[in-house]
Structure 1
Amino acid sequence: MNLLLRTATLDDLSALVELESRCFEVARLGRQQFRWMMVEANAHLTVVEGDGHSLLGYALVLFRQGSTLARLHSIATDPRARGNGIGQRLLEAAETAAREHDCAYLRLEVCVDDRQPVALFERNGYSNLGLLTDFLPGHRDALRMEKRVVQHPQALQRHVPYYHQTTEFTCGPACLLMAMGALDGAVPGNHQDELRLWREASSVHMPGGHGGCSPHGLALAAWRRGYRVRLHLSDQGPPFLNEVRDAGKRDVIRQAHDDFCSALKDTDIEQHLGEELDLRPLLESGGQPLVLVDGHRRSRSRAPHWVLVTDFDHNFIYLHDPNAERSLQRRPQDCQHVPVTHQEFERISHFGQGKQRAAVVLYPRET
């Protein structure tokens, strides 16, 4: 059977409505809804045309402005044409459409009882994010599934190992271990190394609980281990001070900050003050940047969060996120080389009420 995949046009409306009625017991989309998807919605509708110009299937993908997550709203194959690989072709077209719209993830919901579609998605690498009860028409349960459709292009020759933080407050040390491992070509350290770095670099800035690591403290910890370090800051004052209400804790932050600044004077750590953070020259010159980001955008946490930048290309900046449990991606393998659009990175790399920026960039040890 000859198959042609193309973008749907308004001339396909009648055929799409007929196809919808053959594929689903409860018609999900009518003529006006298909028209709206084509003309007004932020969506892409692919159809499969068979012999005789008949429509044998479609895939509808929805996009949201500023989001790297696309949604496969529906995918349908004419029951009379199944067994010809149409579903596979449509799914591949949907993933291509997501990538072309700068989306790194494609998410969908599928009825738990529809074994063939579930099997198709599983074969194509979609992971199960959970059960949605009474989600579909007829009070049917659905599986929410998702796939990362953009993979790291391996543009850099350097291998960046992944280390998963073992506590909720050691994202900075975990990133530092990954950066040192990348520069040394070695496996990152262990839990003991992680806590040792935390003790060196921490200051009290979290709303409650343990202290987190300041950029100054992480820069000093890396420098003491022989690495060349650049410190990028938008503000010379103590970070996170406006996020803390407790007067005693604010005093501790100031004292820790003053102590770090005093220690920095006795080092050759380069300090750059300003709002701009251009990652391209830092990475191309061999640097490994740790960047402090808005914790809520990355992990639904109020506290700022350290991530490691691993690479960049025209569309995305890639991150290692050390916190898999609280990450939106959930699994450790999905927290490596996480693709974030340049626009989204610009948003998340400002933190706190003052929209501060901070980065610690490591370079290879001096020989």
Structure 2
Amino acid sequence: MITSPVTSSSPNIDIRLASIDDLKALLVLEGKAFTGDRLSRRSFRHAITSSGSALFVAMKEDGELLGYALLHLRQGTHLARLYSLAVSPEARGLGIGKLLIRACEKKTLKKGKMLLRLEVSDVNHNAIALYQKMGYKEFGHYDAYYEDQTDAIRMQKRLRHAGDEQTTRAIPWLAQGTPFTCGPASLQMVLSSMHPDYQATPNDELEIWREATTIFMTSGHGGCHPMGLALAAKKRGLSADVWLSEEGPLFVDSVRNELKKNVITRVHESFAQQCEDVGVPLHYTAMPLAQLIEAFDDGALAIILISTFRMDGKKSPHWVVMSGYDEHCILVHDPDLDDDKKLPDDPPSPLDCQYVPIARDEFEKMSRFGQSRLQATVVLKRL
């Protein structure tokens, strides 16, 4: 949600991080700046106190609030998002928006992020012009994104030089429908990219999970086995190769119950036999990053198992899709909207989950799961 900042400047404006004492003024400004999509007191308070956000305010010498900018910093990635920017109607013409954006850019760089993204109403021509002047480029579009049903333009700016331009693939993004179907949702993204006629339905998401599940994990529903995902992909018309850093049953160290260990082992052995029967190659070695990029350049897409620890502090196995790369980063489509971390009036956005830049060294750490540092990659191609 972006209001219309302008580009002149004033030396008497102080840009600082917001404090709890600013809450009342922030709510008043929010009411002036927006007729819908407003942030609540709870959201402002969370932004002020959260380590994952930065809320900047622009103040006059007499203490009057002239504007604010809310920045979200995605943990474990090189991505930041300018979530909301507002300027008091009485302060237009002072360059408040530009000053606040600069503050967000400096914070983004200080936190080690490389890419700053935002969305802006396609009818907000003044804001769009300012972002373009400041180096932001359009890279996407959302229909009926705001409460008033206006569309949103997606823009981004690379704040740190990253060598060559990004190499990306046009991959439809899909959210996982349950906490345990990241693997099926990732496969559905690949299927939607490679087979445009494929219908990514919630029923097929569950069917893929039924075909690929390990049955048991530490608690709750079992996740998806890489061989199971490869077999599900093969069944739906793709060629699949599986790269595993170990030969034995996967995930057994995540459970203590002997019955569960036995079931996981039997499922693993069954998947391995099915792969042999239908001709799905199994490579018992970690896929080198250089080879992964080479496969991407040759038209393949990869589903990769990561640990979410560096992103959310949890040691959970999670499947993502490689959607691009540049000299310093691997880009991924993450099917998890992470609803648990969002407030009611700060809804999760697909903007935060597409082409997520992760530093290569950080990605290599993420793509090792559990005590055995398991690495699993499923490489998919059109037949």
Q: TM-score, normalised by structure 2?
A: 0.61
The alignment status of 1:180 with 2:188, answered yes or no, reads no
In the superposition, relative to structure 1, how do residues 21 and 200 fare at CA in structure 2: closer, same or farther (>3 Å)? closer
Residues 304 and 321 in structure 2, CA contact (< 8 A), matched pair in contact too:
yes
Residue 227 of structure 2: aligned partner: 216
The reply on whether 1:191 has 2:172 as its aligned counterpart is: no
| Corresponding position of 2:336 | 323
Is 2:283 the counterpart of 1:265?
no
1:335 alignment partner in structure 2: 353
Q: Measure the CA separation in 2 of the matches of 1:306 and 1:148.
A: 26
Long gaps (5+) in structure 2: 1-6, 20-68, 119-126, 137-153, 159-164, 343-347
* Partner residue of 1:68 out of 68, 71, 78: 78
Q: What's the Cα RMSD here?
A: 4.5
CA distance 1:192–1:299, change in 2 (3 Å): farther
Q: Call closer, same or farther: CA 1:299–1:178 in 2, change over 3 Å.
A: farther
Q: Which residue of 2 aligns with 1:144?
A: none
Which residue of 264, 283, 286 maps to 1:275?
Answer: 286
Q: 2:108 matched to 1:90?
A: no
RCO (CA 8 Å, sep 6+): is it higher in 1 or 2? 2
- Give 1:234's aligned residue: 245
Q: Residue 308 of structure 1 aligns to which amino acid in structure 2?
A: V
1:252 alignment partner in structure 2: 263
Question: Is the contact made by 1:291 and 1:359 (CA closer than 8 Å) also made in structure 2?
Answer: yes
Displacement of 1:351 after TM fit?
0.8
CA offset digits 1:28-63 (Å, max 9, x no partner): xxxxxxxxxxxxxxxxxxxxxxxxxxxxxxx9x9x9
- Identity among equivalent positions (%) equals 33
**SS of aligned partner of 2:273:** helix
Helix, strand or coil at the partner of 2:278: coil
How many angstroms apart in 2 are the aligned matches of 1:91 and 1:259?
Answer: 57
With the length of structure 1 as denominator, give the TM-score of the two structures: 0.63
Q: Aligned pairs, how many?
A: 285
Q: Deviations 1:211-266 (Å, cap 9, x if unpaired)?
A: 11100111111122231111111111111111111111010000000111111112
Q: Do the aligned partners of residues 186 and 344 (structure 1) sit closer, same or farther apart at CA in structure 2, a change above 3 Å counting?
A: farther
User: Larger Cα Rg: Structure 1 or Structure 2?
Assistant: 1
Q: Distance in 2 between matches of 1:185 and 1:207?
A: 36
| Distance in 1, Cα, partners of 2:192 & 2:18 | 53
On the 8 A contact 2:240/2:281 being kept in 1, the answer is yes
- Distance in 1 of aligned mates of 2:18 and 2:182: 47
Distance of 1:355 and 1:284 partners within structure 2: 27
Residue equivalent to 1:352: 370
Instruction: Please tell me whether residue 288 in structure 1 is matched to residue 306 in structure 2.
Output: no
Deviation track 1:325-365 (CA, whole Å, cap 9, x = no partner) reads 35868323321222222222112111111111101011012
Q: Distance in 2 between matches of 1:358 and 1:284?
A: 20
- 1:66–1:165 CA distance, 2 compared to 1 (3 A): closer
Long gaps (5+) in structure 1: 6-14, 26-58, 108-119, 126-146
Provide the secondary structure at the position in 2 that maps to 1:212: coil
